Amino acid sequence: MVSKMVEHSPQCVKCNVLRCSVAEKDRRVPSSCPTVRYADLIEATKEKYHLPENEAVIRGWHGLMSKILDPEKSREKFSWTRVDEIMEYAAIRGMKRLGIATCYALLFESKLLSDILEANGFEVVSICCLCGEVNPQDMGLGGNVFCNPILQAEVLNCEKTELNIMVGLCVGHDILFLRHCKGETTPLIVKDRALGHNPVAALYTSQNSFYNDRFIRKPE
């Protein structure tokens, strides 16, 4: 039963047809293709894009992409950093009050980000993960410090930030932050202690013969 479910579950990363990226809609796709398997959800999701809160995000994204992918400035798309994109998206949406939810270990980077945002006319509220000074023993945990992503989210909710930026929250803490945050949120830095916060490098090095056994364990 499990193998059958996996067989028919969407596996887009393994698809060699990629009909969704071309105009040739007569191409035959595998039975696991979500466009075919979940055809009933297509219209339902299209309707959700017309909800005001979702339409605003899509229009913001479209406005951003129209600048990044301007056909008359084709080489400029390579000059857009993630910081540029976040600021431009916020500007297109008319957002002025931005929040930064940061790990304490990346306060330096978050200070640089805050300075850039303020220099570009944004109001910035920044919240460190250690806010609240909760004793971990009170939460049934060991250690000397307790990260508080739920409080980070609730503070930014109270501060009525319009767009929040996550900077290096731990795996798990990011989940809790997103679960409790009411404002729109986008990541800037994803923590990776081994790779200088560049997690995609793990994927690239996994293809190098020198590193591939780090992630792909050979049977004993």
Distant-in-sequence, close-in-space partners of 109: CB < 8 Å, separation ≥ 6: 102, 167, 168, 189
Task: With a cut of 60, say whether residue 200 has pLDDT above it.
Answer: yes
Cα dihedral 211, 109, 99, 68 sign: negative
From 153, 105, 147, 150, select the one nearest 125 (Cα to Cα).
153
Task: With a cut of 90, say whether residue 60 has pLDDT above it.
Answer: yes
Distance of CA 42 to the CA centre of its chain: 23
**pLDDT reported for residue 163:** 98
The share of the chain scoring above pLDDT 90, in percent, equals: 67
Task: With a cut of 90, say whether residue 111 has pLDDT above it.
Answer: yes
Any bridge partners for residue 126, and if so which?
A: 100
User: Which of the four pLDDT bands, split at 50, 70 and 90, describes residue 6?
Assistant: low
Q: Lowest-confidence range among 109-118, 141-150, 202-211?
A: 202-211
The share of the chain scoring above pLDDT 70, in percent, equals: 95
Question: What is the CA angle 19-24-28, rounded to 5?
Answer: 55
Q: Which two tokens stand for residue 140?
A: 């049934």
Tally Cβ neighbours within 10 Å of residue 136. Answer: 13
Average pLDDT, the chain: 91
User: How many residues are present in the chain?
Assistant: 220
Average pLDDT over residues 60-89: 93
pLDDT digits (tens, 9 = 90+) for 156-192: 999 999 999 999 999 999 999 999 999 999 999 999 9
Quickly list H helices, the chain.
2-8, 34-37, 39-48, 52-68, 82-93, 107-119, 149-158, 173-180, 200-205
The string of DSSP codes covering 119-153 is: HTT-EEEEEETTTT---GGGGT--SS----HHHHH
Task: With a cut of 70, say whether residue 220 has pLDDT above it.
Answer: no
pLDDT digits (tens, 9 = 90+) for 30-42: 888 888 889 899 9
Q: What is the dihedral of CA 48, 49, 50, 56, to 10 degrees?
A: 130
pLDDT digits (tens, 9 = 90+) for 116-152: 999 999 999 999 999 999 999 998 999 899 999 999 9
